[in-house]
Structure 1
């Protein structure tokens, strides 16, 4: 999160130090992510995730998937 959404405070926070801590606070983390990603389009986040080594993919409706360049290929 610190690399992708520019929130180094979150990766340094003791309340998120372990996987069980993050699972317990999952709703909080999802809210933080939702707020951050709402400000920029997918292309912005895709590039940031790529540079941070984060696996990524765009969620598409069935119609979008069928019309996608990948499906046409």
Structure 2
């Protein structure tokens, strides 16, 4: 009777390890796919309302409905 319990316990541990490894593999694949998608998407570009230079939106400053490359250009354009 003890041998059957030992075999059952070993099978249970083996199944749990297989399940855990499968989940880890799936998560790694999802992370790789997400990073590949992020690398393929170009950054959104905006144009400075003062000097007309294009720059990534993440680097630009926004005031009202306009985008600016720096605080000086924002201030100069708003004084007009």
Between structure 1 and structure 2, the one with the greater Rg is 2
The higher-RCO structure (CA 8 Å, 6+ apart) is 1
Name the TM-score, length of structure 1 as normaliser: 0.24
Name the TM-score, length of structure 2 as normaliser: 0.23
In proportion to residue count, which structure has more strand? 2
